[in-house]
């Protein structure tokens, strides 16, 4: 087992990883920017090294400084968390060169999944259901129009280097095609330095349901069931839950097996997520694979009673997994609490937290790095806490969430707590009746904001 792990991240996930390391008797090294000197991940780690100024590019994305910190402290592994360098193939390769175990995917796996058209081809060959469309990249728009006429409109143009919604264009007819093609290419070239575009049938009003998988170094892969991440706004997830209210036991088994096939197709080692779009007929299609631990991993942990970070560390250290799949025994929901003003277009609200009281009680988990007196820096993402509630049934989990949200006090900054309180009351949410379009029609402005004291 590793003696010391450097955590190349900040915020709640850095703390989350430190906590598991402590329970495993593994030493921890925090790295931090000058804006994060007073952060809990710095305080709770055994050692801490400053790696640069506030701007991420010069600190949390500064590969030479992070490697130097690992060398200096004799860390034998690096956990990258999510975001930052977690899916950076160059960083994974550099760690390997330095003999430091990267607790995540290999450079090859990251590259194979990072190019979406290539990933789709790999999945097709592995027998994972994919969305009908072009075979790889389009050479020009006339080729695209031909395919669109064959499979039928609407279609979607996607950047092969994309993900997270950038460089996508929905096309409804031949007349719109050429303009959409040029603007998608332009946007992809600017955003990713790669203007490769592929085409697929546009799935209207889908659900976003993902399968958690874990693979060991000996080719064994198991799945840990699904998470429903359909409640999102502008490609930012707001609420996640496990299990999905839309998934039957039979579909869970099928999607789980497809997730395993996907992971095996790239000899996947570690924890990963296979994202699927699920249409109203419960057809499911591969969308992307995330080669990292995800923000929403706790909902899976809570319903199968499993520490995903611990298992990630174990498989990275060469310990084999059993190979049995996991089924949810409980229901868990996560609300992402962001320092944003939901009444003013989710405008970021950095600043000092003047008063803080965290909810507790049965079935309540709060993953956060903040506390009363903490100042949220403006340089990083605005998620300041994850509130995870678990119960025997979905209805009880929602009730617990409503109760926990009502106890949660965060003063000094605006947060998304009032949004979540309204969401938990929404009849369609309560009925499990929602898709990725749900937030487009969820109108906060029809409520007064006085009741959120």
Taking the complex as a whole, the smallest distance from the CB of residue 309 to ligand MV4 amounts, in Å, to 25
What is the Cα–Cα distance from 38 to 40, expressed in whole angstroms?
Answer: 7
Give helix 249-265 / helix 116-126 axis angle, nearest 10°: 110
- Within positions 157 to 186, which residues make up the interface with ligand MV4, using CB under 6 A? 163-165
Q: Which residues neighbour 35 within 8 Å (Cβ) at sequence distance 6 or greater?
A: 53, 54, 377, 379, 380
Taking the complex as a whole, the smallest distance from the CB of residue 383 to ligand MV4 amounts, in Å, to 18
Set 292, 394, 421, 422: catalytic member? 292
Q: Indicate which single residue of 203, 289, 389, 391 sits in contact with ligand MV4 (rule: CB under 6 A).
A: 203
What is the Cα–Cα distance from 291 to 289, expressed in whole angstroms?
Answer: 6
- The three-state secondary structure class of 361 is coil
For 63, list phi and psi in degrees, rounded to 5: -60, -50
Taking the complex as a whole, the smallest distance from the CB of residue 283 to ligand MV4 amounts, in Å, to 12
What is the Cα–Cα distance from 298 to 367, expressed in whole angstroms?
Answer: 9
CB 80 within 8 A of CB 312: no
Kindly write out the interface string for residues 269-288 of this chain, putting x where it contacts ligand MV4 by CB under 6 A and - elsewhere. Answer: --------x---------xx
Binding segment for ligand MV4 among 4-12, 190-198, 199-207, 250-258 (CB under 6 A)? 199-207
Nearer to ligand MV4, 356 or 438 (CB): 438
Q: Indicate which single residue of 131, 242, 278, 364 sits in contact with ligand MV4 (rule: CB under 6 A).
A: 131
**Residue 292 known to be catalytic:** yes
Nearer to ligand MV4, 40 or 156 (CB): 156
Kindly write out the interface string for residues 398-437 of this chain, putting x where it contacts ligand MV4 by CB under 6 A and - elsewhere. Answer: --------------------------------------x-
Does residue 202 interact with ligand MV4 by CB under 6 A? yes
Q: Indicate which single residue of 45, 138, 156, 224 sits in contact with ligand MV4 (rule: CB under 6 A).
A: 156
Q: Is the peptide bond before 191 cis (omega within 30 degrees of 0)?
A: no
Strands (E), 253-363: 270-278, 284-290, 331-338, 340-341, 347-348, 351-352, 355-357
Binding segment for ligand MV4 among 83-91, 198-206, 246-254, 344-352 (CB under 6 A)? 198-206
Sheet arrangement for strand 155-159: 169-171, 155-159, 197-201
CB 238 within 8 A of CB 259: no
Does residue 380 interact with ligand MV4 by CB under 6 A? no
Residues found near ligand MV4 in the complex (CB under 6 A): 131, 156, 163-165, 200-203, 206, 208, 232, 235, 277, 287-288, 436
């Amino acid at each position: 087992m590793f003696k010391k792990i450097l955590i190349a991240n900040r915020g709640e996930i850095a703390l989350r990883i430190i906590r598991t390391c402590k329970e495993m008797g593994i030493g921890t090294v925090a790295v931090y920017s000058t804006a994060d000197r007073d952060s809990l991940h710095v305080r709770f780690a055994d050692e801490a090294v400053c790696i640069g100024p506030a701007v991420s590019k010069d600190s949390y994305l500064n590969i030479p400084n992070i490697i130097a910190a690992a060398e200096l402290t004799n860390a034998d592994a690096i956990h990258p968390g999510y975001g930052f360098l977690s899916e950076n193939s160059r960083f994974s390769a550099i760690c390997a060169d330095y003999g430091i175990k990267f607790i995540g995917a290999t450079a090859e796996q990251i590259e194979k999944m990072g190019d979406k058209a290539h990933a789709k081809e790999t999945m097709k060959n592995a027998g994972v259901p994919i969305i009908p469309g072009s075979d790889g990249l389009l050479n020009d728009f006339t080729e695209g129009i031909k395919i669109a006429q064959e499979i039928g409109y609407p279609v979607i143009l996607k950047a092969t280097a994309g993900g997270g919604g950038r460089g996508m264009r929905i096309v409804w007819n031949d007349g719109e095609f050429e303009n959409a093609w040029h603007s998608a290419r332009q946007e992809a070239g600017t955003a990713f330095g790669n203007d490769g575009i592929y085409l697929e049938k546009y799935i209207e009003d889908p659900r976003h349901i993902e399968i958690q998988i874990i693979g060991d170094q000996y080719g064994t892969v198991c799945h840990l069931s699904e998470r429903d991440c359909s409640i999102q706004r502008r490609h930012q997830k707001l609420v996640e839950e496990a299990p999905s209210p839309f998934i039957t036991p039979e579909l869970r088994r099928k999607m789980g097996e497809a997730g395993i096939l996907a992971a095996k197709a790239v000899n996947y080692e570690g924890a990963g997520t296979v994202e699927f779009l699920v249409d109203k007929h419960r057809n499911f299609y591969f969308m992307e694979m995330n080669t990292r631990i995800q923000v929403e991993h706790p909902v899976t942990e809570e319903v199968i009673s499993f520490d995903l970070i611990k298992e990630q560390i174990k498989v990275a250290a060469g310990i084999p997994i059993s190979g049995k799949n996991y089924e949810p025994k409980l229901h868990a929901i996560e609300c992402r609490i962001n320092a944003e003003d939901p009444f003013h277009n989710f405008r970021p609200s950095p600043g000092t937290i003047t008063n803080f009281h965290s909810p507790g009680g049965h079935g309540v988990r709060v993953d956060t790095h903040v506390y009363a007196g903490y100042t949220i820096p403006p340089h990083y993402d605005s998620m300041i806490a994850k509130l995870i509630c678990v119960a025997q049934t979905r209805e009880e989990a929602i009730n617990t969430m409503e109760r926990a949200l009502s106890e949660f006090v965060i003063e000094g900054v605006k947060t998304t707590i009032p949004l979540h309180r309204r969401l938990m009351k929404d009849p369609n949410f309560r009925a499990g009746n929602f898709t990725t379009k749900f937030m487009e029609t969820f109108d906060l402005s029809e409520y007064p904001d006085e009741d959120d004291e």
